[in-house]
Structure 1
Amino acid sequence: MVLYFDPGLGAMITQAAIAAFAGFVLFYKTVIATIKGWLGMKTQEKDSFDEAYSNEDEDDKS
């Protein structure tokens, strides 16, 4: 018995593998952040989006 994988199936398997990896990474980061929050070890890291919004708020006030 010979298994045949057409290009569409190969692309679908690749897409599923990439999505599973991305989902794992996001889930892991969320779980670790939640646990750190419970333990009081959460550090507030500024994100580039945070800086952009704070600059936008300052522009609105002037």
Structure 2
Amino acid sequence: MNMLLYLDPGIGAMIAQAAIAAFAGFVLFYKLIISKIKGWLGITNKSDDSNFDDMYKDQDLKNK
């Protein structure tokens, strides 16, 4: 009966890996669902669509 209480270190590592993977999967799934719901409701985050090319519009450094 005492044999059932023994946990091999490999099994402990497997349990830890499964717990970390489950947490990461939950976080990614939660972000996906929240973004879909916000998209349906028309709620968007203000995003800055600028990039490094916009920096050079006034200065013609791209063509040099």
Distance 1:45 1:23, change over 3 A: farther
Unaligned ranges ≥5, structure 2: none
Q: How many residues align?
A: 54
Please, which runs of 5 or more residues in structure 1 have no aligned partner? Answer: none
TM-score by length of 2: 0.70
Q: Please report the TM-score for the alignment, with normalisation by the length of structure 1.
A: 0.72
Counterpart among 25, 28, 32 of residue 26 in structure 1:
28
Residue in structure 1 matched with residue 8 of structure 2 by the alignment: 6
| Cα RMSD for the two superposed structures | 2.2
Identity percentage of aligned residues: 61
Map 1:25-44 → 2, pairs under 5 A: 25-44=27-46
Change (3 A) 1:45 1:18: farther
**Which structure shows the higher helix fraction?**
1
The 1:11–1:37 alpha-carbon spacing in structure 2 relative to 1, beyond 3 Å, is same
> Residues 45 and 5 (structure 1 numbering): CA distance in 2 closer, same or farther, change over 3 Å?
farther
Structure 1 stretches of at least 4 aligned residues deviating more than 2 Å after TM superposition: none
